[in-house]
Amino acid sequence: MALIGARRIMPNSRPPFTLHRHTLSCYFGEPIPVADIPMTDENIDLLKQRVFDAIDQLLRQHDPDYAVV
């Protein structure tokens, strides 16, 4: 899942936080396959990378501001 527009709603990363009006869109990706990964502590980094890559792909497809940051 990726939220598009959140950066425009709250652009300040430090207090005081200011909220701005903007549309927030939510995009859901395909389920991340995990059948080929044994669920062990050694594989946590691999699973994290798959999640990061899936979110990154959604942001690149749907967020025109993503490549700017």
Domain ranges across the chain? 2-62
Residue 56 has a pLDDT of: 95
Q: pTM for the full model?
A: 0.77
- What are 55-58's contacts with CB under 8 Å, separation 24+? 55/1, 55/2, 55/29, 57/29, 58/1, 58/2, 58/27, 58/29
Residue 67 has a pLDDT of: 73
For the chain, 69 residues long, the average pLDDT of each consecutive 10-residue run is 89 81 94 90 93 95 80
The full DSSP string for 4-30 is ESHHHHS--SSSSP-------EEE--P
